[in-house]
Amino acid sequence: MDRGEQDGGRHKKLDAFRYVITYKPYDILCSRRDRYGRATLRDLGIPRGLHPAGRLDRDSEGLLLMTNDGLFLHRLTHPRHYHPKTYLVLVLGQPDEQALHALREGVEIKFGLTRSADVEIMRTVPELPPIDEQLPSPEKTTWLRIVLYEGKNRQIRRMTAAVGHSTVRLVRVAIGPLRLPPDLVPGKWRDLTLVEEKVLFDWVWPHGRPKPKLDSK
- Please say whether the dihedral angle defined by the alpha carbons of residues 181, 42, 38 and 146, taken in this order, is positive or negative: negative
Pick from 70, 82, 68: nearest CA to 13: 68
- The per-residue b/e assignment along 72-111, b for 16 or more CB within 10 angstroms, e otherwise, is bbebbbeeeeebebbbbbbbbeebeeebbebbeeebebee
- Give the C-alpha distances (Å, rounded to integers) separating 160 from 31, 88, 112, 114, 157: 25, 13, 14, 12, 5
d(CA 68, CA 141): 39
Pick from 139, 145, 137, 140: nearest CA to 170: 145
Q: List, as one string, the DSSP characters of 56-94.
A: --TT-EEEEEEES-HHHHHHHH-GGG---EEEEEEEES-
Establish whether 2 is a catalytic residue. Answer: no
Catalytic entry in 7, 34, 43, 57:
57
Pairing of strands 61-67, 19-24: antiparallel
d(CA 88, CA 90): 7
Catalytic machinery residues: 57
